[in-house]
Amino acid sequence: MRKANKLDIEKVLKKVKHYLTENDLDDISAAWDFCLKVHSGQKRKSGEDFAFHPLKVAYKLALWEMDKTTIIAGILHDVLEDTKTRESDIALRFGTEVANIVKGVTKVSDIKMAGNKHEQQIESLRRMILVMAKDLRVVFVRLADRLHNMSTLYALRKEKQLENSIETLEIYAPLADRLGMGQVKAELEDLSFPFAYPTDYRDLVTKSKKMYEMAVKNMAEIENNLKKGLAQEGFEAIINIRRKHLYSLWKKLKRPEIDNDLGKIFDLVAARIITQTKEDCYKALGVVHKIYRHNALIGVSDYIAQPKPNGYQSIHTKVHGPDGRIIEIQIRTKEMHDEAEHGLSAHWRYSHAKSHGANENMLNSGVFLGQKKYAWVQELVNWQGVLKNPGDFINAVKLDAFHERIFVFSPKGDAFDLPTGSTPVDFAYAVHTKLGNYIKLAKVNNKIVPLSYVLKSGDIVEIIKSKEPRLPNPDWLDFTHTTSARTEIKKLTKKV
Ligand code: MN
């Protein structure tokens, strides 16, 4: 038996045991043995054995309850870049799926652009979306990789610290946000903050220390009272107290209406009541207001009845706490909570549960409903109803949904998501109706193309405008795909 030490895969295996098979565990162990062998003798800048890093990455992926393939790819994610291993070796031993994910992760980490910072960021984001469109699991591995790298950032040179922390704030945190992984986003931001803005970070820590301490003390009393109050109503609910993440506090303080005034922050520490059902959320709200007087002026925000544009659901109420200070209490169901914290990875958990015959309603409980920017995830949820086999679901997660869509970019780097087969005319109308009515010429990746040119994901599309507005050509109806373009073309050409 292998001696238990820091370099031990047991911890990962323990985490995945409840949802993977014995065979899966054997495969993961085999990948780990391979990893130890090829990375042997290598050290990280922090002084640890190199293999400690992929182990941490795999552990994170296990916490997110990723499938076997993703976990193995996590274990092997650095072997192409840092060892003599070839892609074909990985494919032969662990299958082409693992090899493709590892290749994807390597490709993304390779992204180094010439030009200014802004252009670099756009380019990186663009490539990231492209890689993601092939297999979302690449992004999960990359996020787990980034999380661990950020936690050992202290070991790097100062310039590297700054570069990586800014990159994390500008690319990886927003990416996690887009995938609904709020917890990962917050972690990435808080790991970056001290390195990206050291002076502001130190100032904020000093400035907020007393307030945090007071708020925490206050909250302990509130938690107690809420527990009693809820118990009296015969409630089953979890109360958890959370500190606002420093980086999000810093951002909030910069808002004009807050104007750097800590006194205007009511959610420095907030209590969350996590209920079983939606109805219980409203009952819990009643209990809260019975104990603490709610502030009629700032009142209650019901994001359950009216979810935020990103799909966030919760009830927030601001009440006068024990010492009269205003505090925020958030109420949500377990599913809403999971969705807010873990996003797509929570979805994985539900899909596993479902494939094991658990509650069908979980998927239809509104977790992913009403989220426009998340439409592709919704698509997967719908598919899940049809796909009974977990293997099919994994294929769906590879974003086959994306095969119906392409991503193209304006010269400024704004991303547009269009149906497959779209042309520069569709693009123009997607940007703005007005642009559609000024089309003179189109350039794709800096070359002039016919207006019927079929765009591919990743293309940079530029519309050269005419001086005067022009009527669209009715022939454009032969090659346009978007409703917005077609409606406009029909409307304007009818007039002739
Ligand atoms: Mn790595």
Q: What's the pLDDT tens digit per position in 355-396?
A: 443 333 333 333 333 333 344 444 444 443 444 444 444 444
Task: Give the pLDDT score at 433.
Answer: 81
Yes or no: say if 230 and 237 are a contact pair by the CB < 8 Å rule.
yes
Query: Cα 208 to the chain's mean position, in Å?
Result: 28
Nearest C-alpha neighbor of 83 from the set 49, 142, 141, 38: 38
Q: CA-based angle 483:484:486, to the nearest 5? A: 65
Write out the residues surrounding ion ligand 1, Cβ under 5 A. 78, 145
Catalytic residue among 48, 49, 82, 200: 82
Residue range 414-433: mean pLDDT, rounded: 85
Three-class SS state of 293:
coil
Three-class SS string for 54-75?
A: HHHHHHHHHHCCCCHHHHHHHH
Yes or no: say if 341 and 288 are a contact pair by the CB < 8 Å rule.
no
**Distance from the alpha carbon of residue 249 to the mean position of ligand 1, in angstroms:** 30
Nearest C-alpha neighbor of 475 from the set 443, 451, 449: 451
Catalytic residue among 26, 81, 119, 213: 81
Q: Where in the chain is the domain with CATH 3.30.460.10?
A: 208-340
Give percent of the chain with pLDDT exceeding 90.
43
**Distance from the alpha carbon of residue 285 to the mean position of ligand 1, in angstroms:** 45
Q: CA-based angle 232:234:237, to the nearest 5? A: 105
Give the other-Cβ count within 10 Å of 447's Cβ.
9
**Distance from the alpha carbon of residue 49 to the mean position of ligand 1, in angstroms:** 13
Task: Give the pLDDT score at 486.
Answer: 86
Q: Where in the chain is the domain with CATH 3.10.20.30?
A: 404-493
What is the rounded distance in angstroms from the CA atom of residue 230 to the CA atom of residue 475? Answer: 66
Tokens of 135: 């297999």
Strands 326-333 and 315-320: antiparallel
Q: Where in the chain is the domain with CATH 1.10.3210.10?
A: 6-196
Token pair 């969350």 in the structure block, residue: 272
Tokens of 313: 């659901």
Residue type, 90: I
DSSP 98: H
Q: How many residues does the chain have?
A: 496
**Distance from the alpha carbon of residue 340 to the mean position of ligand 1, in angstroms:** 27
* Confidence band for 140, pLDDT divided at 50, 70 and 90: confident
Task: Give the pLDDT score at 492.
Answer: 83
Residue type, 163: E
Element (H, E) at 268: none
- Alpha carbon distances (Å) from 368 to 357, 360, 364, 392: 20, 14, 8, 20
**Distance from the alpha carbon of residue 143 to the mean position of ligand 1, in angstroms:** 10
Residue 177 known to be catalytic: no
pLDDT digits (tens, 9 = 90+) for 210-222: 888 888 888 888 9
**Distance from the alpha carbon of residue 490 to the mean position of ligand 1, in angstroms:** 52
**Distance from the alpha carbon of residue 186 to the mean position of ligand 1, in angstroms:** 20
Range of 61-65, 88-92, 104-108, 357-361 with top mean pLDDT? 88-92
Burial class (CB in 10 A: 0-12, 13-18, 19+), 393: buried
What is the rounded distance in angstroms from the CA atom of residue 192 to the CA atom of residue 197? Answer: 8
**Distance from the alpha carbon of residue 140 to the mean position of ligand 1, in angstroms:** 12
Q: Which residues contact 91 (CB under 8 A, 6 or more apart)?
A: 98, 99
| pTM, full prediction | 0.67
CATH code for the part of the protein at 208-340 = 3.30.460.10
Which tops the pLDDT comparison, 475 or 134?
475
Nearest C-alpha neighbor of 169 from the set 204, 114, 121: 121
Structurally, what CATH architecture does the domain formed by 404-493 represent?
Roll (3.10)
**Distance from the alpha carbon of residue 29 to the mean position of ligand 1, in angstroms:** 19
Task: Give the pLDDT score at 216.
Answer: 83
CATH code for the part of the protein at 6-196 = 1.10.3210.10
**Distance from the alpha carbon of residue 101 to the mean position of ligand 1, in angstroms:** 13
Average pLDDT, the chain: 80
Residue 261 known to be catalytic: no
